[in-house]
Structure 1
Amino acid sequence: MLIFASHITSKDNFRADKASRAKVTETEYSLHPKVYQDITQKLRTPKIDLFASYLNAKCKTFISWHPDPESSGRTSPPVAKPYPGGRSVIREACRRKHIPENAMELMIAALSLSTTKQYNSTFVKWWAFCQGQPDKIYQPTVQDILEVLTQEFQNGSTYSTTNTHRYEEIWDPHPALLMLEKLHPLDSLGLKKLTIKLILLLTLGTAHRVQTLSKIRLGNIRSTEQGVEVKITDIIKTSAPKRMQPKLILPFFKEKPEFCAATTLLHYMDSWIEQN
């Protein structure tokens, strides 16, 4: 069996052609009221009804195809421009702030793909709220921001998501320091407790992410008279072309050896090699 497309002239296809050109004006199609009610309860009530008439409009404000005494107009509102992507939005925002082109490209190049992806969902929501109108997107009013935050809350976002800082509080490291003080001397610790102490000291002493600490390689650890240097050569979240990779500098803490990350790291390496 062969199936292929073929053009049929209107003369030979008069039935289908006539039906497609017929204007049905005697019927105004509309969603059933119960269906419309269910939709608005699960989503939200729209503010404007496009391509409607006074017979089937679901909103007080509606746009009609033909002249209608109660409609707000005969043409639909401007079609929103499609979302161009996170980097394009950032580039345009920089351009409107009169940032030099070369500096702008340098700033955008420093953004990793994961960072852009992380904020992209927020950009998409803001773009949809502003309906692609540049003045509203890049120069919002306080009322615009309050309205979009209110919409997000009504759509299920939690209060903390829309109204609080990223870090509402910080934890007290004192209990951790007390535990570290007890995990001493190092010779008395097994590999498990030694690992816990090392990770905690590195976290407190360098303030690096767990991802960065997980990229520590034995071949990148160098001991000096002042302490220990650790180069991170693997790609991490903050990696970017021509950007320097992190280097952990761990000085010897002779005054408080129980809190010395450098000594703990060297002792951990020796213990791990002995057991493996």
Structure 2
Amino acid sequence: GAAPSVEETYPGGREVIWEAFLTNGIPEEAIRISMASISESSLRQYDCSLKKWWSFCVANKLSVYEAEVPDVIRFLSLEFEKGASYGSLNCIRSAISLILGPKIGKNERVRRFFRGLSRLRPSEPKYDSTWDPKIVLEFFKDLTNEDLSLDKLGKKLVTLLALVSGQRIQTLSLIDIRNIVIKEDLIEIKIPDRIKTSRPGAKQPLLVLPFYKEDPNICPARTLQWYLRRTKDLRGKNKPLFISFKKPFKKVSSQTLSRWLKDMLHKSSINTEIFSAHSTRHASTSAAKKKGVSMDVIRKSAGWTESSTTFARFYDRPIIQDLRLFGQAILED
């Protein structure tokens, strides 16, 4: 618990959290289990925050693991002055709470600081508007699945899945071909793996892909079936749906899928200097609402809880004009 010397270099987020658990009295044999509660994506986020906290403690000769609430507030204030957003500061607070314990997150002085922060620098939606999914679907109408190379077919499929499901790219990257159930008029995909919103008692995502008979070229279910055929002899024992289009045809990461999706948006004439791969979530949920899909269906399709205000605050964007109900609404004219 002693303050690190100036010579000490930052050991890494995982190591800092491990040491914090030891300092807080968690038995060493239980730390591995406790660490499993933190996802890899959260660890990456916390790493940046903890590195800043480490440097602050070194510069001010404070204990990284036993600092007091006023020290934390001073650190947050300095980050605020540097221009950190509400979301960034909230991430820092979560990271520091992980190593200093609940006295940070539950402290009234810290809570008051964040109430003031929400007025001075409120969390803002990333986009003021979004694009119409029809732009991408019109582009896809000329891309016949049978004629596409494997890389273009994979990119088309991940884009269609993102649009008709409203799910995050992370969720799509976890699709396992053993969890795909093909029915007469739709395809169901179960996601049993841990995702961003996983918690005890919460339902895991269920993706529902309608067979869109009006136009096979933009039908997500048919595109999925075609992709499965094309990759069957290439994937070997690989069970993840999305594999690389070059040898050795291994599973691709969510970052790779984001690049694939962004490439398709660019080819569809979506301005990718403004809109990221994640913008498909904004585009599809906003379009579904505009077409009269109920909030309950939108929330369930996109993976938000019944009490979630996320859609209203961040995703309900006006469209720039230029479960099956959700997907069908996106595909229909």
Question: Shorter-chain-normalised TM-score: which range?
Answer: 0.3 to 0.5
Larger Rg: 1
More helix by percentage:
2
Larger RCO, structures 1/2 (Cα 8 Å, 6+ apart): 2
TM-score by length of structure 1 reads 0.43
